Structures are given as structure tokens and as C-alpha cells.
Amino acid sequence: MFICIVFFLQLLLYSSIATKSQLTLDEFFDYTDFLSVSLSPNGEYLLIETLRPNWNSSTYEFSCWLYEINTKQKQLIVTNTGGSSRPKWSPSGNWIAFLQVDQTKMSTKNRYKHYQRSFENIEKNQQFIYLYSIESKKMFPVLVGNEMPSTLTWSNNDSSIYFITSKTRKTDDDQVEWKNIIDY
């Protein structure tokens, strides 16, 4: 009798468990990876950096989201397909600095109309650091030259950004100087 009751309870238990839907291959490969989550120095915002596959372009898409803790609202700040943008909070929490990454999806001509003339004259190999203002919710590009910044940090009072660059391509000064000379 005891065995019948246990068997009946197990049947009842197994039948009441909701069955999960099968995971498809598309769902399995279309995951989002959270690369970093950082709290602003003033404790009002979360900065979330994500990575997810973009099947249409056969690349990965890096995105940075700003989540306001009090209002529970999120906002997409930047999306790019070139690589991680490595965002850094300013000490006051009013600014976020992003290292420039190739193929950033920002329309500089439409979004930054007041910079339009200066962007048209810039060579394609110029590098930028982008500053995002929490107060104005705008992104500002800062031209840093030909070399790719590898890391950056803020000063203690938000007045300066310090960065280190590494050469993107080798240039042989002797070859530039002696370009007309043929070696035998």
C-alpha cells in the first residue's frame, strides 16, 4: 500500500512539472555575452557592455548600455562591430570615455552636423576617443591622431584624459627618406 501511494505521488509530481520548450540552434547561437558591468562613481547608473553575434554581417556586435537605477530605464549609447570599446567612467560620474574602435556605427554627418566640415577633411586612419555626457545624452568625438589609443584614464577632477597609443602600422623613416634610391 505504501509503495502504491509513493508511486501515485511520483506520477502526480512528474505530470505537474511544466515541460520546457526545446532549445533551437538559432536560440543557442544567438546569445548575449555581458563583458562588463560597472557602477557609476555617484551610484546612479550602471554601464553594461554586451557582445552578441550579428549573423547578417558575420561579425560580433559590441554594445554599451546605460541603465538608470532610479527610473529603471536603459539607453543604448554605442554599438560597433570592430571590437570592444572599453568604456571608462569619469570620477564625477558625469562622463563616459570610449576608445575609438573601427567600424563604429555612428553617422557622423547626420548626428554631428556642427562637426560636418571637420569630419570631411579627416583622413580615414585618424583615431578618436568618444566622450558621452550623462547630462546632455550626447556623444562628442575627440581626435587623437593617427595612432590607436590602447588604454585611457581620467584625471581626478574630470579635467583631463590621459591615454597611451601604440603604432598601427610600421613606417620606416629610412625608406621614406631614400624612396628614390634603388638597392643593387
Residues near 129 by beta carbon (within 8 Å), at least 6 away in sequence: 97, 98, 99, 100, 141, 142, 144, 149, 152, 161, 163
Cβ-contact 24, 33 below 8 angstroms: no
| 40: exposed, middle or buried (Cβ count in 10 Å: 0-12, 13-18, 19+) | buried
Q: Average of pLDDT values for 148-166?
A: 85
The 3-state DSSP class for residue 116 equals helix
The letter for the amino acid at 125 is: N
This prediction's pTM: 0.65
Q: Scan for cell 539607453, then name that residue.
A: 75
Instruction: Work out the percent of the chain whose per-residue pLDDT is above 70.
Output: 62
Q: Using CA atoms, how far apart are residues 137 and 75, in angstroms rounded to an integer?
A: 10
Closest CA to 126 of 118, 137, 136, 134: 118
Closest CA to 153 of 91, 75, 110, 80: 91
| pLDDT, tens digit (0-9, with 9 covering 90-100), for 87-121 | 899 999 999 998 865 544 443 444 444 444 455 55
Closest CA to 93 of 162, 140, 46: 46
| pLDDT, tens digit (0-9, with 9 covering 90-100), for 9-51 | 676 666 655 566 776 777 777 788 888 899 999 999 999 998 8
What structural domains does the chain harbor?
30-169 (2.130.10.10)
Of the pLDDT bands very low, low, confident and very high (cuts 50, 70, 90), residue 150 is confident
**Sign of the dihedral defined by the CA atoms of residues 115, 120, 121, 125, in that order:** positive
